[in-house]
Structure 1
Amino acid sequence: MLMETHPNLSVCKLKHEKLASREVVASNSKMIEVVASMARGPVFLTGELLECLITFTNPMSHLSTSASSEMLAWASAQIHCQFHASESRVALPSQGNKQDVQAESDTVLIPSRGERGQCILDTPPKILFCDLRLDPGESKTYSYSEVVPSDGPPSFRGQAVKYVYKLTIGCQRVNSPIKLLRVPFRVLVLHGMSEPHFLQDEEVAPSNPFLDEEEGSSNRRDGSLLEKALDMLMATTSRRSPHLFNITNSRGKVAKFCIFKSVYRIGEDIIGTFTFSEGEIPCLQYSVSLQSEEEVNSMYQRKPAPPLSVTSHGRHLESCLHTASSHFSLPIPLNVTPGFSTDIITLRWRLHFEFVTSREPVESPTVLQNQSEVTIWTGADHVDVDTFSWDLPIKVLPTNPALAAYVSQFTGTNSINI
């Protein structure tokens, strides 16, 4: 039996012409249940192996005693990434009036049929089977595996663009349209996995004395990419190098700020401290916001739309008058997209600070040492203030896909009746 990996899977005729002459048109009560499930979860790193179990079942009918065998001509699966751009923000190059002639045919496998935007990345389709017959109550499970392309963008739903990944399973009965089962999943991108300085770590890894040299070398080369990625993430985000900043305005020094590192994983807490006792200008209030900047690259900007979109993902607000020191902790949500860059957009991260300072000195309340009466201190009715802001860039990297799967909007499982 010859099976070709080709988008036009209707060429998988085999014995279908003979079968078609004998095939009885299925009634509405006949169907095959198809269930696809990603056992490890719906989040993957680029370059990682995606595995999915696809089960085909001919359910036993309890309403009819004339249950019969069901036949599928073929089934295949492939990964694809859909790209969608906001027409009000992004000006894409003209595609001309080219049309896909095959797109009008419902017997040609086009994984992105009916999807918004355009397919910018896909893997070759893999045929799961040809000519599958299932008796009543019988089911068969097939395993699909494919490496998530390492040259693609991460999953992202921004204000200007969207990148959405899906695993699409195409199934077809004889002389019937193709049915598509889609399982969406999330992709994280970790840059630097192929850099020489990281790959050299394998050469100094301890070897297994029970394997011969050639086999041991092969196992080290084929080691888990996920383990390498997690080691790289841990090494990169565990380095602590405190950064000190003097916060000043036009009138003088307000405070000293300390942050312990500038590179974080999604899911981590960003911790910073303020020392106001060293300031000359009274600070009444400060706020810190975790923000992402989505910038459309200049050649794709739609004028007069703003090229930069800012989204806040958390905020800490605190009153700090007469406070010697203070700190904040901002968690990075697990469902956000780490920083990345494509030809069209760049996503960056920053901490946005806002300070409210007094123009005049504010005397602190005094309490006499031997005072026995209760003293109530109230703030001034009117205070002349200045406000100013400051942005501190930070880097946000991915995390363990299994951890990100806990908050994923996807389940990694989907089903369809054919």
Structure 2
Amino acid sequence: MIEITAKLLNGSVYLSGEAIECAITFSHIAQPEHKISQSHNDVLENLAWASAQIHCFYSTKDRSEPTNPGNFQRIGSFGNNRTSLQNSNGNLGQIILQTNPKIIFCDLTIQIGETKSFIYKERLPMESPPSYRGLGAKFSYKITVATQRVNSAIKLIRIPLRVLSVSAITNMPDVSALCCNETTEELQPANPFLEERKVETPLDIALKVLQNITARRSPNFYMITNARGKVARFCLFKSAYKLGEDIVGTFDFSVGTVKCMQVSVALQSEEEIKNKDSQNVSDTAIKPITFARHHEVTIGLSRSQLILPIPLHITPAFETDLVSLKWKLHFEFVTSTCQNLDIPPDVSDWNAPLDVPIETMVWNLPVKIYPTIPKQIPHFCQSSNVCSLVIK
């Protein structure tokens, strides 16, 4: 009996363009029926081969497959979508991205009680779509490890991983200049007294751009009005955030001429399925989904504060040929036309009127949500990075 264990060495969350390392262990477990009197062949297990590769599966709500999956198959080091493991994806969906399979070993012999380990390394392309589970579509990544015992069927073990895409970061500089500079420096005489300068990878540049975008504070003021007049003035300190950050803003009701009874703010996502001709996705797939909400009764308040945490498990904004995802703040202001809601300054005991005419006003404000560094995501928010399979 052989037990196969696959473990992601750096957690289960990765950025596109980041290298993945997976330790794959093959152990020959001794069974109670093994005795010393058995022959030499009985205490040996032979595996013909083993390989590993990364797959990205795409599926929709009705499990239909797009006839035109876009240009994913031409991305980076990913090969075509024809391998011996393509038809074994089960209900995971259609394979739209995959790395070239890497052979781990051929003709491996393991004795009873022996364990042999191998390291599988692969780098995700920068243009990889993110892991996403929406109402109408789903992107999921798996590391597929395949092996075959001599004269037996092929066995598969799949390790799930989460990918955060950095392709949505704008203002990315052209890295071709870096390549030219690197070649020029290699032709120059080496100076032993100078430290070797590390050439930045596209991922390093993307992380610097991400830090600059999300750290920049640029307060924006919005005057909230309706047909009756001014309701409040809202201030949002910045419009670009990373996963795990708090959306902070302030309300100023002292400038309003319309009484605001209460305010509700929700962080919502909007999913759009682009290839609608080849998919039978219902209208519910493009409805907004609420992930966080802030609610406050504001009657009698002149100022209020908004603190809305961004969950770590959501998918940042992205856009592909199949699906696009955007984020917004959805505001609901409950106002009143009653003029008797002012609290007299010399009254210590005040009762609100029993019947107040109200009306609700909604407003949407787009916000940008970007990925964060995987190390900042706690382990309890990640999926299990260890999977095992027993071949009997």
The residue number in structure 2 matching 1:341 is: 319
Contact 1:294/1:309 (CA < 8 Å) preserved in 2? yes
Identity level (%) = 41
Partner of 1:32: 2
Aligned position for 1:230: 207
User: What is the SS of the residue equivalent to 2:208?
Assistant: helix
**For the Cα contact (< 8 Å) 2:86–2:95, is it kept in 1?**
no
**Which of 325, 349, 371 does residue 376 from structure 1 map onto?**
349
Partner of 2:240: 263
CA apart distance, 1:151: 2.9
Q: TM-score, normalised by structure 1?
A: 0.80
User: 2:300·2:343 contact (CA, 8 Å) conserved in 1?
Assistant: no
Give the SS at the match of 1:323: coil
- Aligned residue in 1 for 2:268: 291
| 1:20-169 equivalences in 2 (<5 Å) | 31-65=1-35, 66=38, 68-87=43-62, 92-93=66-67, 108-110=84-86, 112-169=88-145
Per the alignment, residue 411 of structure 1 pairs with 384
Paired with 1:390 and 1:193, the residues of 2 have a C-alpha distance of 26
Q: RMSD between aligned alpha carbons?
A: 3.1
Instruction: Give the whole-Å Cα distance in 1 for the aligned partners of 2:159 and 2:350.
Output: 62
**Contact kept? 1:349, 1:393, Cα under 8 Å:** yes
Residue identity opposite 1:87 in structure 2:
D
Query: What's the secondary structure of 1:283's corresponding residue?
Result: strand
Q: Distance in 2 between matches of 1:130 and 1:91?
A: 35
TM-score by length of 2: 0.85
Letter of the 2:46 counterpart: M
Question: Where in structure 2 are the equivalents of 1:180-199 lying within 5 Å?
Answer: 180-191=156-167, 192=169, 195-196=172-173
Paired residues of 2:59 and 2:137 also in contact (CA < 8 A): yes
**Could you tell me which amino acid in structure 2 is paired with residue 250 of structure 1?**
A
Aligned residue pairs total 365
- What stretches of structure 1 of length at least 5 have no aligned partner? 1-30, 96-106
* Kept in 1: contact 2:135–2:284 (CA 8 A): no
Q: How does 1:241-320 map to 2 (within 5 A)?
A: 241-297=218-274, 299-300=276-277, 302=280, 305=283, 308-320=286-298
| Distance in 2 separating the partners of 1:43 and 1:305 | 31
- 8 Å CA contact 2:136, 2:281 repeated in 1: no
Amino acid at match of 2:385: G
Shift of 1:161: 0.5
Paired residues of 1:76 and 1:129 also in contact (CA < 8 A): yes
- 1: CA distance, partners of 2:344 / 2:253: 19
CA shift at 1:212, angstroms? Answer: 3.5
3-state SS, counterpart of residue 84 of structure 1: strand
Q: Which residue of structure 2 lines up, in the alignment, with residue 12 of structure 1?
A: none
Q: Is the 8 Å Cα contact of residues 154 and 337 (structure 1) preserved in structure 2?
A: yes
Contact 1:37 1:52 in 2 (8 A): yes
Specify the SS of the correspondent of 1:233: helix
Q: Structure 1 CA distance, aligned partners of 2:285 and 2:146?
A: 39
Secondary structure of 2:379's counterpart equals: helix
Paired residue type of 1:236: I
Larger Rg: 1 or 2?
A: 1
Structure 2 gaps, min length 5: 70-82
* Larger strand share, 1 or 2: 2
* Per-residue CA distance 1:297-323 (angstroms, 9 max, x = gap): 275474873562210001111011121
The alpha carbon displacement at 1:324 in A equals: 0.8
